C-alpha cells in the first residue's frame, strides 16, 4: 500500500493528481531558484504571511501549499506525497482526493492564521500531507475493511514519528500539521464509502514484474530527479 513498484509512466497514468501536485512543487521551487531580480518579491506575494491574509489577500491560504523554503523541505514533502498519496487517490478518486488535500491544507493554514502572530510567515505542503494521515487514521478506525492491519501498524508508527519530529523542531509549523491532520480525520465520514476496499494494481504480477525489470520504478526516477536538483542547488 505504501510501497511504489510502478514505472514512472504507470505512476503518472494511475495517479494524475498526486503526479500534478509533485510536479507543481518541483516546478515552483525551480522557478524561484532562478536568478531573476524579482524572485524574492513574487515569492513573498504568495507565501503564507498572516498579516497579508488579514489584509484581504486570501489566496495566501492556498498558495503556500505549493511552495517550499529549501531543497530539503521540497524533498521530504514530495517524497511523502509520492509514498502516501497514491493509495488514497485510488481509494477516493481524483476529485475527492483533491478536495481532501486542499481542504486539509487550507485548514492548517487557517489555524496558523488564527493562532499565530500576524508577523508569522509560512510555506509548505505539510498541513495537507498530515491531512492525508488524518484520513488514513479515520479509515483505520471506522472503515476497517479499507486498510489491512499491517498497514495500520505502519501508518501508526509513521504518524507518531511525524508528530514527534514536529514537536522537536522549532522551525516546523506544528499548528498546520496538527489542524491539517484533524481536518483530514474530520472529512473521513464524507469522503469514505462503507464498502470494503481491496487495494490492487491495474497490472498482473507477471506483467508488472516484466515491466519493472525493463524500466526503473517511479521512486527511483523521482529520487534521481530530486538528487540532480539538489546537486545543482548546492554547486550553482
Residues 6 or more apart whose Cβ sits within 8 Å of residue 45: none
Cα–Cα distance, 219 to 225 (Å, whole number): 10
The CB-side HSE value for 52 (13 A sphere, CA atoms) comes to 17
**Alpha carbon 11 to chain centroid, angstroms:** 16
Judging by beta carbons within 10 Å of its beta carbon (0-12, 13-18, 19+), is residue 68 exposed, middle or buried? buried
Q: Any catalytic annotation for residue 177?
A: yes
Cα–Cα distance, 92 to 104 (Å, whole number): 15
* List 68, 73, 122, 177, catalytic entry: 177
Q: Tell me, what DSSP letter sits at residue 195?
A: S
Closest CA to 88 of 14, 38, 180: 14
Closest CA to 190 of 113, 87, 103: 103
Q: Which residue has the cell 481509494?
A: 91
Q: Any catalytic annotation for residue 126?
A: yes
Cell of 132: 492525508
* List 80, 126, 162, 166, catalytic entry: 126
* Catalytic sites, residue numbers: 126, 177
Amino acid at each position: 500500500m505504501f510501497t511504489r513498484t510502478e514505472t514512472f509512466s504507470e505512476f503518472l497514468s494511475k495517479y494524475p493528481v498526486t503526479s500534478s501536485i509533485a510536479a507543481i512543487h518541483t516546478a515552483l521551487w525551480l522557478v524561484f531558484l532562478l536568478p531573476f531580480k524579482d524572485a524574492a518579491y513574487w515569492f513573498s506575494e504568495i507565501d503564507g504571511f498572516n498579516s497579508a491574509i488579514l489584509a484581504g489577500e486570501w489566496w495566501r491560504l492556498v498558495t503556500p501549499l505549493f511552495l517550499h523554503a529549501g531543497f530539503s523541505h521540497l524533498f521530504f514533502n514530495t517524497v511523502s506525497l509520492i509514498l502516501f498519496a497514491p493509495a488514497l487517490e485510488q481509494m477516493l478518486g481524483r476529485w475527492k482526493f483533491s478536495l481532501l488535500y486542499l481542504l486539509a491544507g487550507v485548514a492548517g493554514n487557517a489555524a496558523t492564521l488564527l493562532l499565530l502572530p500576524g508577523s508569522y510567515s509560512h510555506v509548505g505542503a505539510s498541513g495537507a500531507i498530515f491531512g492525508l494521515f488524518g484520513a488514513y487514521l479515520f479509515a483505520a478506525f471506522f472503515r476497517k475493511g479499507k486498510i489491512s492491519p499491517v498497514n495500520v501498524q505502519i501508518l501508526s508508527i509513521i504518524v507518531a514519528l511525524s508528530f514527534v519530529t514536529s514537536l522537536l523542531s522549532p522551525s516546523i509549523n506544528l499548528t498546520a500539521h496538527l489542524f491539517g491532520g484533524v481536518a483530514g480525520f474530520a472529512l473521513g465520514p464524507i469522503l469514505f464509502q462503507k464498502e470494503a476496499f481491496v487495494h490492487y494494481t491495474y497490472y498482473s504480477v507477471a506483467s508488472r514484474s516484466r515491466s519493472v525489470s525493463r524500466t526503473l520504478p517511479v521512486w527511483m526516477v523521482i529520487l534521481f530527479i530530486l538528487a540532480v536538483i539538489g546537486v545543482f542547488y548546492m554547486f550553482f
